[in-house]
Chain A
Amino acid sequence: SQKIEQNSEALNIQEGKTATLTCNYTNYSPAYLQWYRQDPGRGPVFLLLIRENEKEKRKERLKVTFDTTLKQSLFHITASQPADSATYLCALINNNDMRFGAGTRLTVKP
């Protein structure tokens, strides 16, 4: 069955460091992969996407990689700030099917 795993439930890092979040998947061939940010008690907010034929995408302090051989996406936040603290979800899309991971809760400490 299809499975999406995000590396850990929680990740704690120091302000200014780079946060790296992992999204692994099995039994799925996504054409697109999206990343969302979710704050407590709120709905997810779309951040960026990467296509299966793209290796890397950047948006300001965010960088996403997509390795279809390893079946993995990495999501990096450089120069992290306490305001980056949130849960980050990956979502895999193929045709009309979209699957979300459970998310990783990131805490950036000042």
Chain B
Amino acid sequence: DGGITQSPKYLFRKEGQNVTLSCEQNLNHDAMYWYRQDPGQGLRLIYYSQIVNDFQKGDIAEGYSVSREKKESFPLTVTSAQKNPTAFYLCASSVAITGGAETSGYTFGSGTRLTVV
């Protein structure tokens, strides 16, 4: 079954700690994305990648970092510089951003809920 897997489902972070959220897809999609979802707000784009070894900042990239060493994987690190990291994090993938994603939509993972303790 093709899909996109996020792990862990729940994650707790202590103050000053870096944590990494995993995202793996077997859909052979070129593009991958990280979003943050907070209550009452739309999904906000953190980072996206259209191709291996290349990624772009989204609207709220500060305090986050990513890597795209393999087509299938796009991990997100929440660094200690992110002052308000408690949120629901969603990873998504799609066919090429231009000429594909508009009509086929994004495939989302099940999310990781990060809580600062």
Contact = CB atoms under 8 A, between A and B. Distances in A.
Interface residues of B, number: 25
A99 B42 contact: yes
Nearest to B56: A96
A96 B97 contact: yes
A32 B100 CA distance: 12
Contacts of A100: 35, 42-43
Contacts of B111: 41-43
B105 interface: yes
B97 A49 contact: no
Interface string A95-107: 1101111110000
Nearest to B103: A49
Contacts of A44: 43, 90, 106, 108
Interchain residue pairs A-B with the least CB separation, the first 4: A43-B108, A46-B105, A100-B42, A100-B43
Interface of A: 4, 9, 31-32, 34, 36, 41-46, 49, 89, 93, 95-96, 98-103
Given A41-B110, A45-B108, 4 more contacts: A44-B43, A44-B108, A46-B104, A98-B45
